[in-house]
Amino acid sequence: MTSEQLHFKASEDSWSISQCLEHIILTEDMIFGMIQEYMKNPTNPEDKEKIQYSDQDILNFSTDRSEKYKAPEMLLPDEKFDNSEDALNELSKQREAVITFIKQTPMDELRNRVNESPSGHSDVYQSLLFMAGHTARHTLQIEEIKSAANFPN
């Protein structure tokens, strides 16, 4: 992807692909950091009744592009990446830690740690689902940017 394509914005108030990639990286880093903190706590399966969303609900609302949300200040991108290779390398490096964690952590350890998040109570597995859904949401946004009529060739 050229620098022009990476920094293209379909409108003044929309994000570029570079900004989307940076936001994905910042958000995944934040969520995975929260997950690592949750894992330090003892299991609390007695709190499962506090979980208000199903796994499918989480995937549905985290990937739904029909409603736009304003990212918190700490997750706003500042066009850190000038080429897609650097962004994808950083994302891949970060993703390795997440994949290793998932492979090494038994499902009951993920399901039996209920925590309170900005959207309510969820277990660690659901936090991972939200992280994946959030990335999918912004991947769709990148596809929208690339399909803009005036996207540079």
Q: Specify the pTM.
A: 0.92
* Spatial CA neighbour of 26 closest among 104, 64, 79: 79
* pLDDT for position 152: 96
Residue 136 CB neighbours (<10 A): 15
Domain count, the chain: 1
Residue 144 CB neighbours (<10 A): 14
Write the DSSP assignment of 44-107 as a string of letters.
-GGGGGG--S-HHHHHHHHH--SS--PPPGGG------SSHHHHHHHHHHHHHHHHHHHHHS-H
137 falls within a domain: yes
Question: What CATH code is carried by the domain that includes residue 93?
Answer: 1.20.120.450
- Residue 63's domain spans which residues? 3-146
Contact 4/151 with Cβ under 8 angstroms?
A: no
Q: pLDDT tens digits for the chain (153 residues)?
A: 899 999 999 999 999 999 999 999 999 999 999 999 999 999 999 999 999 999 999 999 999 999 888 899 999 998 888 888 999 999 999 999 999 999 999 999 999 999 998 779 999 999 999 999 999 999 999 999 999 999 998
* pLDDT for position 130: 95
153 falls within a domain: no
7 falls within a domain: yes
151 falls within a domain: no
43 falls within a domain: yes
